Amino acid sequence: MPVTITIPTPLRQFAGGQTEIEVNASTAGEALDQLTSTHAELRRHLFNDQNALRNFVNVYVNDEDIRHVSGPETPVKDGDTILIVPSIAGGSVAQIDNLRVEDPQVNNLRHDDLPMLSNEEVARYSRHLIMPEVGMTGQRKLKAASVLMIGTGGLGAPLGMYLAAAGVGRLGLVDFDVVDASNLQRQIIHGTKDVGRPKIASARDRIQDINPHVEIETHETRLTSENALRLFVNYDVIVDGTDNFPTRYLVNDACVLTHKPNVYGSIFRFEGQASVFWAERGPCYRCLYPEPPPPGLVPSCAEGGVLGVLPGIIGAIQANETIKIILGAPDIMVNRLLLFDAWRMRFRELKLRKNPDCPVCGDNPTIKELIDYEEFCGITQPSQASEPTMEEITATELKQRLDQGDDIQIIDVREPHEYEIGQIPNSKLIPLGQVLNRMNEIDSDRETVVHCKMGGRSAKAIDALQRSGFPGKLVNLKGGITAWSDEVDPTVPKY
């Protein structure tokens, strides 16, 4: 019977660019088998070597996670939709055991303990005050609340501005990056004049300008296992605006250990996700994704791009959920995952369930303190005794060898729209998703330098070619065409 499989953006390059594929199947597993038999490169992204679904890939039949039904044997019927939902990468410790959020009303403050509003604040928040769902009491709750924002980039930009405008009394900002010109397309909290400034300083100035009544605490540091618990216990709500998996798992585990709600958002190209992970009331992030994808499997926004308005939409949703938590709204987004496709302008909601075997929030947790999250995500520095990594060449070295007449072919594995932005002279475009099918176009008798934007996709292309038995010499261009622009030819645009 025909069922439709929805292909998420990061995997479409391995499915001929298709967003939906129809197959005939009676179970979810049978449908996936048919999908991956037609698109073989998808299989290693969905299944491990034991032919089991990978833990960082969730499969839903309509809105039900098949892990909570019958797994791959979950039956499907005519007209059903199968969704593949992969991971997508953008407060004292001594008191942790006793600190619990039992009530969505911040800090369980009694009405008499809530801070008063000045006449100026009453005028500022008047559109809130005339709403019965907020009113004077709700606005005073917002003033009493504290929120810690992890990141002041794409998601943190709208989030910080809307929370400040709403009157959240204390905002903590965690960031250590500086503003880059490429940030300005989406990170609207920063302006052209801020390029080169620390993001945390730029964000602080903008928030203070929006609402001088908000107390701003800046933490110009990388969030680590050493400082996360100390930071988290001093805030009521934690909002995850990160763009990498080690920090995302760190935020999750620290929220569970400090009993804090984790307002989650993630973005990639045209697609976004949002939820509230609160172990006191439902699942945590590890219940959804027990383990991260291997390094490099999921492209970053720098490699894959992101529509400028998308973080605004997802960040505003995160701000909305944060405000609802503070106000004690009855229907926050716990136990639900919201998917948004900006290109097709579609929202979809999926059910989430707590995993009783979750290692951090389950019935018998094994993770009782923060761990090394870069090691957990496979991002460890190789030791001197480890096997050498694939051969690399710098842009300067490549230019020197080309100038001296060495016979080198250059393969560009970016996408055609990226190739239009700028190219290395005499390079041949073979996008990463096509590289195995077009392997015969690469002369194995010549030394081949493979490049992309910054070196990640080209390394994956080399690995795939070597695994498929390509006999020629393959060398990765370190830093990609970005390094070529920096070191060799500044007329090649950087993006």
Q: What is the CA radius of gyration of the chain?
A: 24
- Looking at 42, 64, 86, the residue that finishes a domain is 86
Contacts of 99 (CB under 8 A, 6+ apart): 233, 258, 259
pLDDT for res 68: 87
Domain shared by 319 and 415, yes or no: no
pLDDT in tens, 324-355: 999 999 899 999 999 999 999 999 999 999 99
Q: How many CA atoms lie within 13 A of 167 on its CB side?
A: 27
The DSSP secondary structure of 305-323, one letter per residue, reads -B-TTHHHHHHHHHHHHHH
User: Residue 199 domain-assigned?
Assistant: yes
Domain shared by 145 and 230, yes or no: yes
pLDDT at 24 over 80: yes
Q: Are 283 and 354 in contact (CB under 8 A)?
A: yes
**Straight-line distance from the first to the last Cα atom of the chain, in angstroms, rounded to the nearest whole number:** 45
Domain shared by 189 and 229, yes or no: yes
Look up the pTM and report it: 0.77
* Better pLDDT: 320 or 58: 320
Domain shared by 240 and 164, yes or no: yes
State which amino acid sits at residue 63.
D
Domain shared by 294 and 165, yes or no: yes
Residue in the structure block whose two tokens are 């038999």: 37
Domain shared by 15 and 68, yes or no: yes
Report the candidate in 37, 26, 96 with the shortest Cα–Cα distance to residue 61: 26
Domain shared by 227 and 263, yes or no: yes
Question: 331 vs 64, 96, 128, 323, 327, CA distance in Å?
Answer: 20, 27, 19, 12, 11
Q: How confident is the model at residue 180 (pLDDT cuts 50, 70, 90)?
A: very high
Q: Give backbone dihedrals phi and psi of 237, rounded to 5 degrees, phi first.
A: -135, 140
Domain shared by 82 and 97, yes or no: no
- What number of other Cβ atoms are within 10 A of residue 362's Cβ? 18
Contacts of 380 (CB under 8 A, 6+ apart): 374
pLDDT for res 301: 66
pLDDT at 293 over 90: no
In degrees, to the nearest 5, what angle opens at C-alpha 217 toward C-alphas 154 and 183? 20
State which amino acid sits at residue 143.
K
**Mean pLDDT estimate for the chain:** 90
State which amino acid sits at residue 127.
R
User: Residue 383 domain-assigned?
Assistant: no
List residues with catalytic annotation. 301, 452
Domain shared by 312 and 400, yes or no: no
Token pair for residue 373? Answer: 């999250």
- The secondary structure of residue 234, as a DSSP letter, is T
pLDDT in tens, 85-124: 888 664 222 332 333 333 444 445 566 689 999 999 999 9
Report the candidate in 203, 213, 206, 197 with the shortest Cα–Cα distance to residue 172: 203
Which region, left, alpha or beta, applies to residue 102 given φ > 0 means left and ψ of -120 to 50 means alpha?
A: alpha
Please state the length of the chain. 495
The CATH number of residue 37's host domain is 3.10.20.30
Domain shared by 461 and 479, yes or no: yes
The CATH number of residue 296's host domain is 3.40.50.720
Q: How confident is the model at residue 300 (pLDDT cuts 50, 70, 90)?
A: low
The DSSP secondary structure of 366-409, one letter per residue, reads S--S---HHHHTT--PPPTTSPP---EE-HHHHHHHHHTT--EE
Domain containing 462: what range? 392-487
Averaged over 256-280, what is the pLDDT? 96
State which amino acid sits at residue 232.
F
Domain shared by 69 and 99, yes or no: no
Q: Are 404 and 271 in contact (CB under 8 A)?
A: no
Token pair for residue 371? Answer: 């761990």
Averaged over 133-158, what is the pLDDT? 97
State which amino acid sits at residue 97.
D
User: Residue 493 domain-assigned?
Assistant: no
Q: Are 89 and 241 in contact (CB under 8 A)?
A: no
- Looking at 46, 70, 86, the residue that finishes a domain is 86
Count of the separate structural domains present in the chain: 3
Averaged over 18-47, what is the pLDDT? 91
Domain shared by 167 and 315, yes or no: yes
User: Residue 301 domain-assigned?
Assistant: yes
Q: Give backbone dihedrals phi and psi of 331, rounded to 5 degrees, phi first.
A: -130, 55
Strand partners, 266: 273
pLDDT at 379 over 70: yes
